[in-house]
């Protein structure tokens, strides 16, 4: 078939008039390159399920690809989870364009397959969906979200029956069933009929259950003073849940960036709705100055990540993802009273978690990148008798509770507020606490550099860069000798450098970006100047980043 034939065949089975019109216009203009981009491949079912640009064709997020994904998921559940037809699946959505339409497609396709569906009546943060899947013990969970991706993207995130994100062999099994589903007609039960058959149940009560369960894990210290928080939801869906959790946790003085508070999938005030991106927190930092905040907090659009800034020298310092992760880990380990504690982080996260864990007598493990690996490994360790305390990845993803088997930007924000308030009682900030860890364990300065790739072949381009470096690694990075090269999987290359420094690169699993990670370590003598040690580490970071990127 030619690409024109493929496009015409797609139009015949596409239930969405918008994407049908898109293809018809491209056919009328004989826009072959645009058609090739849409039909040159299929969205890869991988790290986050599906994620891609909205539009027509198998290489885009649309009603057809969502229906195929759901049919494939249901077919795999029927093979692997014997009671899936009674346990059902839990489904949620964010506020991006078409999220509501895609959610309905999931419901109707699953119902036609005889699988009950538990749904919310409105948008919901990803952590609430993950919490609900665990609380209800559903056979799977589906979240319609593209998280922190730019406008124009959407996605399909899958949780398995253990309420953690899917890993092998289930991801490959689902992908195989999706491919089979794409070759046949997909059954669909209209929503009204599915409701009448008792195959759809609304679960809005799980929102308040999440708020109570998460907030009640944090004890109100009697010496904890009031804390003023400046907050932004970045046009996402976390505002209401975050405020409810903070309020129940004893934090009422929360000031939001008004123009970013309501869900808006077009993200009109930010280029990229990701707190990691330069400029994304400008408005909340300005608000923090205006209201005299003690702490700055930002969630990404689906609420599973959190960024923070703390007072320093009359202004605010934005903490790195590793700063936040190590601070939360140290605090949670201090509070832990259970035996055999374990904390986890990913291979691209700061090695500083190692000595922090050792200081508290805890086990530290590193996993491949992503909370799907952290949480599934945590479940294995729990089965061996260990007590999970905390897991994190440097990309602002933290999991401080076993109530959510994924990163949770809302519960993490509460933990940060609690830690900041207790520090305030001693006249300190989160920056002071971070610096105290540097003095105890040595400075570990970190930097991430991302290079964005465009086009349908973005993933292939990024992987070719990684492959070249793997096959022909440099002998030095930034004039520092490479002492070891490791490849934890086929997408990550790690350079262990002389002196304990590190450099890494990997393609993002959720965005068309090639990510480089750099770590420079430095010892601080008991009477040494911390500022000097930091400056030396950051100078080395400059050299490492300039050389490798």
Active site residues: 147
Rounded CA separation 174/89 (Å):
15
Cα three-residue angle 103-412-491, rounded to 5 degrees: 70
The three-state secondary structure class of 467 is helix
Q: Does a cis peptide bond (omega within 30 degrees of 0) precede residue 169?
A: yes
Burial 422-441 (b: 16+ CB within 10 A, else e): bbbeeebbbbebbbebbeeb
Q: CA 146, CA 511: separation in Å to the nearest integer?
A: 9
Question: Token pair of 206, please?
Answer: 């799980």
The residue to which tokens 């008991």 are assigned: 526
Cα separation of 289 and 277, whole Å? 20
Query: Can you name the residues that pair with 118 across neighbouring β-strands?
Result: 90, 201
CB-based contact 94:148 (threshold 8 Å): no
> What are the residues facing 93 on neighbouring strands?
144
Handedness of CA 40, 45, 46, 48 (dihedral sign): positive
Of the candidates 260, 51, 65, the one whose C-alpha atom is nearest the C-alpha of residue 148 is: 51
Residue 71 structure tokens: 């049919």
Distance, in Å, from the CA atom of 89 to the CA atom of 240, rounded to the nearest integer, reads 24
- Which residue is associated with the tokens 């649309």? 62
């Amino acid at each position: 078939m030619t690409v024109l034939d493929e496009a015409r065949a797609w139009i015949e089975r596409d239930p969405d008039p918008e994407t049908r019109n898109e293809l018809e216009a491209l056919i009328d203009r004989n826009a072959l390159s645009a058609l090739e981009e849409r039909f040159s491949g299929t969205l890869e079912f991988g790290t986050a399920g599906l994620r891609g640009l909205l539009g027509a064709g198998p290489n885009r997020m649309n009603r057809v690809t969502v229906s195929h994904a759901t049919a494939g998921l249901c077919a795999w559940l029927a093979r692997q989870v014997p009671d899936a037809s009674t346990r059902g699946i839990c489904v949620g959505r964010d506020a991006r364009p078409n999220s509501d339409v895609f959610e309905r497609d999931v419901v109707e396709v699953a119902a036609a397959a005889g699988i009950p569906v538990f749904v919310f009546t409105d948008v919901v943060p990803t952590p609430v969906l993950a919490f609900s899947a665990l609380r209800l013990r559903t056979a799977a969970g589906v979240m319609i979200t593209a998280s922190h991706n730019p406008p124009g993207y959407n996605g399909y995130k899958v949780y398995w029956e253990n309420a953690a994100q899917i890993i092998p062999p289930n991801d490959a099994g689902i992908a195989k069933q999706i491919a089979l589903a794409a070759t046949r007609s997909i059954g669909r039960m209209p929503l009204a009929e599915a409701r009448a058959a008792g195959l759809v149940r609304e679960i809005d009560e799980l929102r308040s259950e999440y708020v109570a369960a998460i907030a009640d894990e944090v004890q109100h210290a009697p010496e904890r003073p009031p804390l003023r928080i400046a907050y932004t939801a970045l046009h996402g869906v976390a505002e209401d849940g975050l405020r409810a959790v903070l309020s129940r946790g004893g934090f009422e003085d929360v000031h939001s960036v008004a123009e970013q508070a309501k869900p808006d999938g077009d993200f009109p005030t930010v280029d990229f709705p990701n707190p990691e991106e330069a400029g994304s927190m400008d408005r909340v930092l300005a608000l923090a100055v205006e209201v005299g905040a003690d702490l700055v907090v930002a969630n990404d659009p689906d609420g599973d990540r959190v960024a923070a800034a703390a007072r320093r020298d009359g202004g605010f310092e934005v903490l790195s993802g590793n700063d936040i992760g190590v601070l939360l880990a140290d605090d949670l380990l201090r509070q832990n009273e259970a035996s055999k504690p374990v904390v986890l982080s990913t291979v691209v996260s700061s090695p500083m978690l190692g000595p922090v864990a050792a200081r508290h007598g805890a086990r530290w493990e590193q996993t491949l990148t992503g909370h799907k690996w952290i949480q599934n490994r945590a479940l294995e360790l729990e089965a061996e008798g260990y007590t999970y305390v905390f897991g994190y990845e440097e990309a602002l993803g933290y999991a401080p509770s076993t109530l959510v088997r994924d990163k949770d930007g809302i519960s993490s924000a509460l933990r940060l507020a609690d830690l900041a308030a207790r520090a305030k009682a001693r006249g300190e900030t989160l920056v002071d606490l971070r610096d105290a860890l540097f003095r105890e364990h040595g400075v570990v300065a970190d930097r991430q550099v991302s290079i964005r790739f465009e086009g349908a072949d973005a993933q292939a381009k990024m992987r070719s860069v990684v492959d070249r470096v793997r096959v022909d690694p440099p002998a030095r990075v930034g004039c520092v000798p490479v002492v070891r090269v490791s490849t934890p999987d086929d997408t990550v290359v790690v350079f262990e450098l002389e002196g304990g420094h590190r450099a890494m690169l990997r393609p993002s699993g959720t965005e068309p970006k090639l990510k480089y990670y750099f770590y420079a370590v430095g010892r601080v003598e008991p009477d040494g100047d911390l500022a000097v040690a930091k400056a030396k580490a950051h100078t080395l970071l400059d050299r490492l980043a300039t050389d490798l990127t």
